[in-house]
């Protein structure tokens, strides 16, 4: 049974990933187990709002795509803006980061700008810059442990 499940996951190019930090709270918590679709970006680029897994400095990170190539991204008093327009973020409690400012910054071709949902406690594109699309391993499909739910 375990061998069959491992074969199925491997043949569908689904990668199990464990969340290691609190940077995506409340959406994801440290210790959550995810399934990542490694085929998601073979033919299409990441889109705003996608939860992605990517490699950075020898670590595998999970963040949300806030902006894509060609966009201008900023944060004004805790409100994410893309191309000068405020973005509605249902998973974010803006009251937890009033007074937070960033940018504006242009997102170069071939990259995405990623942010953690827990903005005050996330190391993300604000510190290390946009992520090359080639470093994105895949899109989070679901959290399967401790309780299944869509991300």
Q: Kindly list the catalytic residues.
A: 23, 63
Asked if residue 139 lies in contact with residue 36, where contact means CB atoms within 8 angstroms, the answer is yes
Residue 82 C-beta-side C-alpha neighbours within 13 Å: 18
Pairing outcome for strands 136-145 and 102-106: unpaired
Beta strands in the chain (DSSP E): 14-18, 33-37, 51-56, 59-68, 72-76, 79-82, 85-86, 102-106, 111-115, 131-132, 136-145
Under DSSP, is residue 140 helix (H, G, I), strand (E, B) or coil? strand
Task: Please choose, from the candidates 24, 72, 16, 52, the residue with its C-alpha nearest in 3D space to the C-alpha of residue 138.
Answer: 52
């Amino acid at each position: 049974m375990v061998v069959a499940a491992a074969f199925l996951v491997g043949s569908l190019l689904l990668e199990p990933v464990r969340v290691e930090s609190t940077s995506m709270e409340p959406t994801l918590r440290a210790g959550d187990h995810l399934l990542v679709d490694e085929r998601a970006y073979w033919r299409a680029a990441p889109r705003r709002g996608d939860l992605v897994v990517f490699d950075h400095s020898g670590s595998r990170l999970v963040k949300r795509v806030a902006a894509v190539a060609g966009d201008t991204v900023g944060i004004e008093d805790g409100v994410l803006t893309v191309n000068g327009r405020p973005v509605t973020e249902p998973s974010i409690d803006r009251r937890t980061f009033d007074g937070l400012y960033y940018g504006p910054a242009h997102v170069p071709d071939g990259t995405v700008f990623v942010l953690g949902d827990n903005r005050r406690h996330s190391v993300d594109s604000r510190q290390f810059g946009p992520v090359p699309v080639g470093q994105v391993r895949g899109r989070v499909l679901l959290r399967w442990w401790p309780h299944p739910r869509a991300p």
